[in-house]
């Protein structure tokens, strides 16, 4: 029953976002992060995988951070090129750029914290002999992208 309600709920949330909530500051990015996380839930349901709360928390914080980066970029461009102080179609004003510049990276740091707590949890300590090597793999892959 929950799986059947999922697509309908996502459709309602997406429609609300498109027509109403897109213009509400902060609510829009939280809803976007939730919708992206819903895609992870839907994908897991399709392939019959049990999701962990670690993955859901990590994804919410990462997606929130990415949505806020996008808003920060929009506001920075508005600040540099426009005479208006409000983003068209958005609920953000130039005064919000400071809040966005704080909350965005904080959300990213929280995703790193969730990952660190996951690495230290009993869930990962059991199946892996040296779970901290995952940190080295993540660090190594991020160096390749620079």
Q: What is the pLDDT of residues 63-100, one digit of tens each?
A: 999 999 999 998 898 888 877 777 777 888 888 899 99
What's the half-sphere exposure (Cβ side, CA atoms, 13 Å) at 142?
A: 6
Going by C-alpha positions, the residue among 80, 103, 141 that lies closest to residue 25 is 103
Q: Check if the beta carbon of residue 29 is closer than 8 Å to that of residue 64.
A: yes
pLDDT the model gives residue 145:
46
Q: Check if the beta carbon of residue 68 is closer than 8 Å to that of residue 100.
A: yes
């Amino acid at each position: 029953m929950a799986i059947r309600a999922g697509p309908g709920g996502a459709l309602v949330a997406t429609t609300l976002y498109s027509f109403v909530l897109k213009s509400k500051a902060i609510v829009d990015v939280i809803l976007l992060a939730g919708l992206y996380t819903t895609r992870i839930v839907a994908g897991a349901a399709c392939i019959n995988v049990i999701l962990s709360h670690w993955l859901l928390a990590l994804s919410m914080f990462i997606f929130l951070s990415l949505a806020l980066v996008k808003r920060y970029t929009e506001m920075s461009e508005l600040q540099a090129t426009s005479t208006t102080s409000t983003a068209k179609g958005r609920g953000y004003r130039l005064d919000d750029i400071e809040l966005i510049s704080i909350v965005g990276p904080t959300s990213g740091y929280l995703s790193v914290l969730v990952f660190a707590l996951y690495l230290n949890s009993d869930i990962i300590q059991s199946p892996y002999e040296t779970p901290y090597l995952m940190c080295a793999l993540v660090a190594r892959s991020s160096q390749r992208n620079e």
